[in-house]
């Protein structure tokens, strides 16, 4: 698993540097994430490493299915802004306690996403939906500040009245949700618009750093979290980059914490 994780992390970093925003699909198993991904995707697959699990049947038992999307599928979204959408492992209700931590470690792409689409099966009862939303939020907020957009999927299975009722009942957990039917390709354009609108805007920053040992680790942190435009080394290190506002704030804090070299 470590190997897969390292490779995927490397790939994500390359994509981020080449200017892509990362959107992750999260939610319980069977919510419709993979179906939705196919609807959101531009025609060309960025990569599909499904060959990692060539022997898994779609009907495989849930223990196997936990890992079916571990070799994740990532596709470019069908929109002008360069956005990649990544499918993830579905949460499983009543996951045994001992499995929870290893499950969370498979959510790396969610934790690094710029925006999370939390997909919920709207044909389930309000109680079920509520419980799943609460658990999903707990897991997501633990490690990521990215905006979460809730998608009530499978609207083709729910009457308009029922749907309105469910929206109301869940409004505090899922304010402003989107509704979609991935199966019938309904609501997809609205979803793409919303992604475009809710992705945090990037801001420019230029940091001038003292040349110390710790500086290099800050520069590599910036590489991991931002789109680096230019780095120049002299008596000082200058880094110009674009990043989300929270990343810029963090980079400034880290820069302020750098030790000042004695010769300065
Ligand atoms: N009626 C209906 N069925 C849907 C819709 N979206 C997905 N499905 C069906 O729901 C089932 C699960 O869909 P997937 O896209 O595989 O769900 P998933 O969230 O990727 O599930 P995991 O990979 O197990 O986490 C499939 O049988 C889909 O055909 C929808 O909008 N309406
Ligand atoms: Mg899936």
- The structural domains of the chain, ordered by start, are 2-198 (3.40.50.300), 203-256 (3.30.1370)
Q: Which ligand 1 atom is nearest residue 119's CA?
A: 19
Of the residues 34, 60, 73, which should be mutated to test ligand 1's pocket, given the most ligand atoms within 8 Å of the CB?
A: 34
Average pLDDT over residues 128-157: 90
Q: Which ligand 1 atom is nearest residue 181's CA?
A: 31
Q: Using pLDDT thresholds of 50, 70 and 90, give the confidence band for residue 68.
A: very low
Q: Which of 71-75, 106-110, 176-180 has the highest mean pLDDT?
A: 176-180
Query: Could you tell me the distance, in angstroms and rounded to a whole number, from the CA of residue 73 to the centre of ligand 2?
Result: 9
Q: Which ligand 1 atom is nearest residue 157's CA?
A: 1
38-42, 68-72, 107-111, 129-133: range with lowest mean pLDDT: 68-72
Residue of the CA atom closest to atom 8 of ligand 1: 32
Q: Using pLDDT thresholds of 50, 70 and 90, give the confidence band for residue 54.
A: very low
Please check the confidence at residue 215 and state whether its pLDDT lies above 70. yes
Strand duo 236-243 + 203-210: pairing: antiparallel
Predicted local confidence at residue 22, as pLDDT:
86
Predicted local confidence at residue 43, as pLDDT:
55
Query: Could you tell me the distance, in angstroms and rounded to a whole number, from the CA of residue 25 to the centre of ligand 1?
Result: 13
Predicted local confidence at residue 53, as pLDDT:
38
Please check the confidence at residue 9 and state whether its pLDDT lies above 70. no
């Amino acid at each position: 698993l470590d190997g897969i994780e390292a490779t995927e992390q490397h790939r994500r970093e390359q994509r981020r540097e080449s200017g892509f925003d990362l959107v992750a699909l999260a939610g319980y198993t069977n919510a419709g994430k993979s179906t939705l991904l196919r609807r959101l995707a531009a025609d060309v697959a960025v990569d599909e490493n499904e060959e990692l699990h060539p022997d898994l049947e779609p009907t495989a038992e849930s223990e196997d299915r936990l890992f079916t999307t571990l070799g994740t599928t990532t596709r470019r979204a069908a929109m002008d802004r360069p956005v990649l959408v990544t499918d993830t492992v579905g949460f499983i209700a009543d996951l045994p306690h001992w499995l929870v931590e290893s499950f969370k470690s498979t959510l790396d792409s969610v934790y690094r996403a710029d925006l999370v689409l939390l997909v919920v099966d709207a044909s389930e009862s309000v109680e079920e939906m509520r419980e799943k939303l609460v658990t999903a939020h707990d897991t997501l907020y633990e490690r990521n500040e990215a905006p979460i957009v809730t998608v009530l999927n499978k609207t083709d299975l729910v009457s308009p009245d029922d749907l309105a009722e469910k929206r109301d009942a869940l409004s505090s957990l899922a304010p402003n949700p989107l509704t979609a039917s991935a199966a019938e390709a309904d609501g997809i354009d609205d979803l793409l618009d919303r992604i475009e609108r809710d992705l945090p805007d990037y801001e420019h920053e230029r940091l001038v750093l003292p040349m110390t040992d710790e500086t290099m680790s800050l520069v590599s942190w910036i590489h991991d979290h931002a789109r680096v435009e230019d780095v120049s080394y002299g008596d000082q290190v200058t880094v110009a980059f674009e990043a989300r506002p929270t990343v810029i704030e963090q980079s400034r804090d880290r820069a302020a914490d750098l030790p000042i070299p004695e010769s300065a």
